[in-house]
Structures are given as structure tokens and as C-alpha cells.
Structure 1
Amino acid sequence: MSNVQKQFLVKFWGVRGSIACPGSQTVRYGGNTSCVEMQIAGQRLVFDGGTGLRELGQTLLSEMPIEAHMFFTHSHWDHIQGFPFFVPAFVPINKFYIYGAIAPNGSTIEQRLNDQMLHPNFPVPLQIMGADLKFCDLEIGEKVQLGDVIIENALLNHPGEAIGYRVSWGGHSVAYVTDTEHFPDRLDENVLWLAREADLMIYDATYTNEEYYDKKSSKIGWGHSTWQEAVKVAKAAKVKQLVIFHHDPLHDDDFMDEISRLTVEAFPNSVVAYEGMTMDLLATAKTAA
């Protein structure tokens, strides 16, 4: 088995939520919105197509032809705005399988990606993309198998609906849980199921508890969670490592440093995601052993 077939790498290309926020105050953690790449046993998986997808696309130009599987949690703008700027999708020698659940209004992921590129929103339509695009509608709870890699999904608590993913291969697993809002009186069973004994849980911790419950500007009902809830889930699901993700655009680098300190204090094997961060699950497993 080649080295490529033995790897389980997770790389973060966009770690923000809501809106991209590049600038001098977000240099260390980055300002691009959600996009996570996984290279597993020769398969390339991409989760969400926020503005970080443009950055990923630039690096893939030197590796063409590309075949990849793209999984969308939902189609709020911060998770799809990078797709029209994903240059490899315009190149005919490439092939992309694109997955997403049907929205509550009945629209498919193909329809939603198509609509954001229609006039007057964008100068050229999705159909101008020259790559071979295969759109796949997912049922909630449906399992996708790519070779030995298994991708499972479950419904999350988010306005307009979103799904989270669990990726498993070779006895290792990653839970990608964004965007979701915790419940006030219990842990979300779907989130616990996705995260069960995962090597890595990537969790939507947009707010702090103080922001979430603030009496003047409460974020209850906005569809996102907190780092404190992330810790609760990680402990309950017996997660090996927690990754804080989907940072609020108002949280600058210093603020994120403090969240990192507090999270590690509460759950020692934690890290706050930053652009360019790469995690090697197999190397981590060897170290832990």
C-alpha cells in the first residue's frame, strides 16, 4: 500500500462563519469561511465551499487532473460563496462529485449552487464550468462509501436545516459538526452519534456562553453553539481531540487566543482551528499509542 493510500489528513482552508473577515486583526487564525479538506486512503473529500474553497482551488491547479468528492452541510452563503471561484471546476479534465441534502423547500444542492450564479448575482452561470460535475442528493442518515472510506450524516439544529458528517476509515474517524445550535436542557443525540469516540470532532463554537445568553443581544435561535457546549459534547461522546471551528467574524486573533486558552483548560486535547492547519490522524494515533 502506497503512502497516499495509508494517510488520513485533515486540512483547514476556511475556519470562519457568517462572512469572510480578512484583515490585520485576523491574520493568525484567518478570515475565510468554512472549507475543510480530507485526504484519506487516496480519496480527496472537501467539506463545504465557503471562501476557503478558492484558496484550496489555487493549490489544486498544480495537481490536475483532480477527482474529488464535495460534501455540503447546507447552502447558507458562508458555506457556498467560494464555489463560483473554485477554478478547478472550470477545467474539463477534472471531475467532482457534489453531495448535499434536499432543502426543506425541496431544492437540491445543484439548484442552490446554480441559483447563486444566476444573473444578477454572478456574471456567468454554473453551466460554464467545464469539469465533470456529478450532483448527488443525500437522504438524511444515508451512508456513502468511497472504497473503504465511509461518510455518514445526521440532521443538525440550524435554521433552514443543515447536516453534519462523520468520516470513518481504518478504525479512525472525524466528526464535522457545523452549523448547529445546542439544546438548553440536553445534548443533541444526533451530534453525539456523529461524534461517538471520534479521533477528531470539528465543532461549531461561534459564540461564547456569555455572548449566546446575553440579555441585550442574545444569539439564541441563530443556529450556532459555544466552546463551552463543545467541551460538554467532547466529554460525553468520548472524543479524543476537539477542534473549535466556525469562528465569529467579530472575534479577532487575541480573542481567539483567549478561547484557545479556556478551551484547553477545560478539555486539554483541544485546538482552535486556523487556516492552513493540517492534522495527521495516523501520526497522532501512533503518538498516543
Structure 2
Amino acid sequence: MQNQFHIKFWGVRGSIPCPGTDTVRYGGNTSCIEMQVGGERLIFDGGTGLRVLGESMLAKMPVQAHLFFTHTHWDHIQGFPFFVPAFVKGNRFRIYAIPAPNGATIEQRLHDQMLHPNFPVPLQIMQADLQFYDLEIGETIKIGELVVETARLNHPGVAVGYRVNWRGLSAAYITDTEHFPDRLDENVLWLSREADAVIIDATYTDEEYYDDKCSKVGWGHSTWQEAVKIAKAAKVKQLILFHHDPSHNDDFLDRLGEQAALAYPNTILAREGLSIELMETTKRFSIPKQITNDR
């Protein structure tokens, strides 16, 4: 991976895990993606997909990685207590997030979710070298040749989006953000600017978002139609719709994907097992026929 920019999806759902026969093709695990870039491993969010990623790492220990959290709502941290490599001495993980509005650090929040009566063992049982870093929104992180940029997202309790830059290639991870009714979000546009790949919150359709009976306005998420607007304005090369609503089954997502691809041809839907390799002249995509075969 020294000369590659590789992205893999381990969890693509929002809100709550939704395993079952109707979600087999896209997967039911919550948010977790992995980027292996220039010899560095970056992990974004620790939803239940992190457990599966952790299992795949056990064959090549010791391991080290940088783990970035957008925020700490349950669907983005509930896989961390089941991340087996964190329990193994000799592994090393640098963990980044912005402080919560009440000032709680990422270490405090991960610690608290593993306290009784919520969990049987405390964070201190983890034997890996865990190093915690509290970010400021807008801060830039340099990791070797990589530059990771950050920006505020529009989500209850505050969330942060990320953009990874390496050798002229870039990928943005922008989830749990709600669009504005009268303008495009400048922070989202900035993170997305001419990116090779943008992974973006597209939890709802416009019809669901503006539904008179159960409006989703103010819930902190966006629609695929708004994602397309961002992609067009920011001249995104590949748009990847992410954070699928748990009520959207495989057939629903198939139809949604067809509509989105018509609106913006370079659009695909995130699914567990999806692998993307960014290259200077072309992009290669690998979508497994059955998710379980690519874990």
C-alpha cells in the first residue's frame, strides 16, 4: 500500500444496525470506512463495521492505524468496544475527534460507553497503545505525506468532516450533516472541492425529508438530491452516497442508485465490501456480488 490510495467500506448504515435478509447486498453495519494511503492506515468512525474490520486485521499483527471520529453518536462508536486489535498488546492506535459541546474528550466518551451498567469490561482492559488527540475544527493533520483537513458539519451536537490529500489525489468523508434550505454548505463544498471521491451523507430522499407527516428537517442528515448538487458545484469526480437509512432495503437502494446515477453519472452507493482504488489517471472499483465473500 506504499504507493496506493485504497478505500474500503466496512459499515455504511446510519442510526442503528439493520442486519437481515432485506439488507444483504448493501449491508447492515453502521459507519466505518478504511483508507490505506501511502503506507498509512486511516479508519473513519467506529460503528459496528469496525468489529468486522478488526477481525480482518488479526492475521497481520502487530498493526497500527489512525482512527478519526466524526462525532460520538451511538452509531459511530458502538463498534469500538468490539474492536479486537485494541485489546492486543503491541498494536498502536492514534485516535482523533473534536471535544463534545460539554467539553468531554474522545477518551472520556469512549471510556464512558464501556462503563457498567452499559458494558462488562472497561476501556483500561485494552492492551494496545491508545493515544488520544483532541482536534480543533479547521485543524490540519499531517501524517507522513498525507494531509488531513477538517471542517464543521451541520449536525446536532456538532460533527466534523474530513478530507485526505496525498500526491494530488483526494477523498472526502462527509457524513452526518444536514443541508441548508437556501444555500449549499460552504464547508461541505470546501471539503469536496474537485475531489477524486466524496463519501457523503445521503440518508433520505427529498420526499422523506420534507414529508408532512414525519418531516426529517432538523434531524441532522441530508438527501441524495442535495448530495448531487454538491457534486456538481464542487466538480467531484466520484460521488459515493453513504449513511443509508435503516428502513431502506436493498431493492429501495437499487432504485435510489439508478435515480442518482441519472442525475449525476459518476454516482454509486456505498455498500459493505466495496473497494475503491484512486489513481492519477483512472479509478478502479470493485463491488462484490455477495458482501460476505469480501469480508
Instruction: Choose which of 28, 40, 44 in structure 2 pairs with 1:31.
Output: 28
Partner of 1:143: 140
Q: List aligned pairs for 1:1-289, cutoff 5 A.
A: 4-282=1-279, 285=282
Letter in structure 1 aligned against 2:11: G
Amino acid of the residue matched to residue 258 of structure 2?
Answer: R
SS of alignment partner, residue 279 of structure 2: helix
Deviation at 1:286, TM superposition (A): 6.4
Distance in 1 of aligned mates of 2:267 and 2:152: 25
Q: TM-score scaled by structure 1?
A: 0.97
Question: What is the CA–CA distance in structure 2 between the aligned matches of 1:267 and 1:129, rounded to whole Å?
Answer: 44
Letter of the structure 2 residue corresponding to residue 141 of structure 1: G
Q: Which runs of 5+ in 2 are unaligned?
A: 285-295
The superposition leaves residues 83-139 of structure 1 with CA deviations (integer Å, 9 ceiling, x where unpaired) of 000000000010000000011110111111011000100000001000000000001
- Indicate how the Cα distance of structure 1 residues 230 and 133 shifts in structure 2: closer, same or farther if over 3 A, else same: same
Distance 1:192 1:242 in 2: 13
Mapped to 2, the partners of 1:114 and 1:57 lie a distance apart of 19
**In structure 2, what is the Cα distance between the partners aligned to 1:45 and 1:192?**
22
SS at match of 2:200: strand
Q: CA RMSD in A?
A: 0.9
Deviations 1:52-89 (A, max 9, x none): 00000000000100010000000000000000000000
Identity %: 70
Distance in 2 (CA, whole Å) between partners of 1:20 and 1:41 is 32
Q: CA deviation at 1:254?
A: 0.2
Residues of 1 paired with 2:131 and 2:149: CA distance? 19
User: Deviations for 1:167-196, whole angstroms, at most 9, x for unmatched residues?
Assistant: 000100001001100000000000000000
Counterpart-to-counterpart distance in 2, 1:78 and 1:46: 15
Aligned residues: 284
Structure 1 ranges of 4+ moved more than 2 A: 283-287
- Gap change, CA 1:20 and 1:137, over 3 Å in 2: same
Residue segments in structure 1 that go unaligned for 5+ positions in a row: none
TM-score, normalised to structure 2, is 0.95
Greater displacement, 278-287 / 98-107: 278-287
Letter in 1 for 2:166: W
Is the partner of 1:6 in helix, strand or coil? coil
Aligned counterparts of 2:125 and 2:280: Cα–Cα separation in 1: 41
Question: Matches of 1:199 and 1:53 in 2, distance apart?
Answer: 24
Q: In the alignment, residue 64 of structure 1 is paired with which amino acid? A: M
Shift of 1:253: 0.1
Cα distance in 2 between the residues matched to 1:142 and 1:11: 25
Partner-residue secondary structure (3-state), 1:62: helix
Post-superposition offset of 1:285: 2.5
CA distance in 2, matches of 1:63, 1:168: 26
Shift of 1:283: 7.1
Cα distance in 2 for residues equivalent to 1:112 and 1:192: 30
Aligned partners of 2:276 and 2:283 also within 8 Å: no
User: Secondary structure of 1:265's match?
Assistant: helix
Deviations 1:228-276 (A, max 9, x none): 0000000001100000000000000000001100000000011000000
